[in-house]
């Protein structure tokens, strides 16, 4: 059972988006073809393994807390996920820096709803991660609304991948991964129908960044995390909005292990951002999303 052990006053930042891709039994979240293609896309150095304890050690050295998750995409990817229970146990061992999110396969219907309740009640997860392209579902299909109702009832946020994905990039057919499922406009329906549900749109949502900015500006319950891209490649309209109308709606995130924390922070320092906004992006906005601060 996970419980916070983080001194939120002392940590410098909260990374809202990191992946744990191997559990303590050595089971990986994705098949080898996808792992190799994704590493090539992100130009990852050899030997990086996103285990929960290795991740915790790295973030502890940076005095930074991290939201950790895996993705249950057994239907969409035809591959058994790594263990969420193992991830939560690892986060509990490292609860001074790690915050676990759960994941459910939307295709599992009533079982997914039950799983939401179980992961919150029995394991203490603090949110849920979805990847519509990998999980092969349209987020605004009302068949999935009972899942969102359960998450809203639990009072935790839902984080959805949006935009282009490095997963499957360069493979024939993109490894069957369809980008249209991750159009942020599909989440506008969900945000409107569940105003009590906090939604985070993960990543600058290329090629739909303008839609993403509009949604986050229009819906009080919607945020954007800045993971998955080096900040030097952020679309200029997003950088503009970050310092203005979205100053309380954007969140620091790396997409570790694909983007390393040192690289993200170094490149972020080169952006022309109002200094008063920087603490909001690095920590204060995330505290509100996680329900730790009002």
What residues contact 199, with CB distance under 8 A and at least 6 apart?
A: 157, 158, 159, 160, 187, 190, 191, 219, 221, 222, 223
The string of pLDDT tens digits covering residues 16-29 is 999 998 888 777 76
| Of the candidates 51, 291, 65, the residue with the CA atom closest to the CA atom of residue 158 | 291
Q: Is 84 left (phi over 0), alpha (psi -120 to 50) or beta?
A: alpha
**pLDDT for the residue numbered 268:** 98
DSSP string spanning 104-165?
Answer: --GGGTHHHHHHHHHHHHHH----EEE-HHHHT--TT-GGGHHHHHHHHHHT--EEEE-S--
Q: Which CATH architecture has domain 13-290?
A: Alpha-Beta Barrel (3.20)
pTM reported for the whole predicted model: 0.96
Q: What share of the chain is helix, strand, coil (3-state, %, to 5)?
A: 45, 15, 45
**pLDDT for the residue numbered 49:** 60
**pLDDT for the residue numbered 46:** 60
**pLDDT for the residue numbered 40:** 79
**pLDDT for the residue numbered 141:** 98
**pLDDT for the residue numbered 47:** 57
**pLDDT for the residue numbered 28:** 76
**How do 98-100 and 64-69 pair as beta strands?**
parallel
The string of pLDDT tens digits covering residues 79-89 is 889 999 999 99
* Residue extents of the structural domains in the chain: 13-290
Tokens of residue 151, six digits: 């998450």
| Of the candidates 169, 216, 210, the residue with the CA atom closest to the CA atom of residue 188 | 216
Cα torsion angle, 14, 293, 113, 93, sign: positive
Residues in the chain with pLDDT < 50?
none
**pLDDT for the residue numbered 191:** 98
**pLDDT for the residue numbered 151:** 98
Return d(Cα 114, Cα 109) in angstroms, integer. Answer: 9
């Amino acid at each position: 059972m996970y419980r916070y052990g983080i001194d939120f006053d002392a940590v410098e930042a909260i990374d809202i988006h990191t992946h744990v891709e191997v559990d303590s039994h050595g089971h990986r979240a994705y098949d080898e073809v996808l792992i190799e293609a994704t590493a090539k896309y992100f130009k990852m150095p050899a030997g990086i393994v996103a285990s929960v304890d290795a991740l915790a050690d790295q973030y502890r050295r940076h005095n930074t807390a991290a939201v950790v998750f895996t993705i249950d995409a057994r239907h969409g990817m035809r591959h058994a996920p790594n263990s969420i229970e193992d991830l939560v146990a690892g986060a509990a061992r490292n609860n001074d820096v790690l915050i676990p999110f759960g994941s459910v396969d939307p295709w599992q219907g009533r079982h997914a709803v039950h799983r939401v309740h179980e992961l919150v009640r029995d394991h203490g997860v603090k949110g849920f991660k979805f990847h519509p392209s990998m999980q092969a579902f349209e987020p605004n299909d009302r068949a999935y609304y009972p899942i969102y109702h359960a998450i809203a009832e639990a009072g935790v946020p839902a984080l959805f991948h949006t935009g282009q994905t490095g997963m499957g990039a360069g493979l024939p057919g993109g490894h069957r991964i369809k980008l249209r499922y991750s159009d942020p406009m599909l989440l506008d329906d969900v945000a409107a129908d569940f105003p009590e549900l906090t939604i985070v749109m993960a990543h600058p949502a290329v090629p739909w960044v303008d839609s993403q900015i509009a949604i986050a500006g229009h819906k009080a319950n919607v945020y954007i995390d800045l993971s998955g891209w080096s900040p030097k490649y952020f679309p200029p309209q997003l950088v503009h909005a970050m310092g203005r109308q979205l100053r309380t709606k954007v969140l620091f995130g790396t997409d570790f292990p694909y983007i390393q924390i040192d690289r993200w922070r170094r490149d972020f320092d080169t952006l022309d951002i109002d200094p008063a906004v920087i603490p909001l992006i690095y920590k204060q906005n995330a505290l509100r999303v996680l329900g730790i601060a009002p």
